[in-house]
Structure 1
Amino acid sequence: MTGHEFTLELLHRNPLQFLEVLRMSRESFVWLCAHFRVNYALKDSKHVSVEEKMAMFLMMIGHNQRYVIIKRRFQHSKQTAHKRLRPVFKGAVGALDGTLIHAVVPANKRDLYRSRGKGDCYQNVLAICDFNMMFTFVMAGWEGIAHDSRILSEALANPHAPFPLPPPDKYYLCDAAYANIRGFMAPYRNVREGLRDEFFARYDEPNVSIRNNNASVDNDEDEIPTHGTAADREYITQLRDEIAEQLMQNME
């Protein structure tokens, strides 16, 4: 079965199977392909459709598949698979993020653990995972309302739990809750209107901090705590721009 036939079969078979293989619903997949066709000029090539390209990509990142597996499943040469999915985050050594874990806390502290408008109580846990799906650092115990960037700042300054800083030429991938600085690559924030879309809407939520044990909202996104120097920020920003350019070239 060719890659094109495999993709069509997925699209027309049981929706649950589609979800298991590509890790998203069929409707979301169709919308995603249309989005990239319209907004990013992604086109069918001579032998590979947009839908097949997207299926190859989603199988790789959704199941940690190697090029050789993608090559065999979609019946393309390794060169074709590598051309479409070549790694551009060569300096990345892992992913960093905060996650909310349910917590049982005393009644007088529950407001601090209710997180961002959620009814239940949570603790905000900072974790780093490498590309072998292994945790390399975990910091637990923070209130659910605490902002991710604040927890990272405290982790960097904590002498009792040495933070595993990446080498100078490496970095962790993280979301827009963190500052884009050497060692930590965050996505673009407040990009010009032509590049905005629904994928990044959730990154525009206001920052949340704790002041005098009460929740408050910081409307100024520039208040995200930063560390390092201006040169560090310039370095990672330039590197991020280069990666974005490579990604766009891969879509052509």
Structure 2
Amino acid sequence: MELLEGNESRCQNMFWMNKDVFIRLCDELENIYKVKGSQRISVAEKLGMFLYTLGEGAGNRNVQERFQHFGKTVSRYFSGMLNVVCDMTKEFIKPSDPKFKSIPPEILGDYRYMPHFKDCIGAIDGVHVRATISPSNQVPYIGRKGIPTHNIMAVCNFDMQFTFACAGWEGTAHDTRIFQSAIHNLALKFPKPPNEYPQMKWYLGPYKCQRYHLPEFRRGAQPTGYKEIFNHAHSSIRSVIERTFGV
């Protein structure tokens, strides 16, 4: 309550969201997802411990000291809140138009993409997020970055909204392996293009062994040949996923 009633920046620094969003989220957790408080701990404090742990990468002992609860209490409430938030993602991280009936305005109004990408529904990319893993289990998570990471694959639309996320893979897992698992695991409900075929027909990747990344074109000559021209357009349209990760 000290944080919620104090300066706006304190809540933002502690929980990585402003007070209004924090309070609205508490209300949704109570009224929609039926999260209950107890005599000793409120829903706001449960949420606060959860967000503090995620935002600061805090360990159990750090959270014990900050919130003055036993380690078992911290662990139990974090696990419970994590399950609830994972259920929430099913409502929010999904396509707003699951049948993809309309052309995204970002493509429709840009001569670089229309009509060549008029049926494009989103972009896919992966990102490595640092993970805290016990030393005995670290090896599969230590990839080219030299530190334990999760390899997370995500899909976004051209309005910079995530429509799918697959988290939890070890850092050494190849992007292709994660992608294949996501599109073939029906339980994950991957947002596939309309009229999907068993083959990879509807997934556009760049031409290999050709310039691809935008800085390569900025430093060098203009794209030449249909492969480089396609790669340049593909890289431009794919940059939406990188911007979305950045935001």
Fold equivalence (TM over 0.5): no
So what's the TM-score if we normalise by structure 1? 0.43
The structure, 1 or 2, with the larger RCO (C-alpha pairs under 8 Å, 6+ apart) is: 1
- Higher Cα radius of gyration: 2
So what's the TM-score if we normalise by structure 2? 0.43
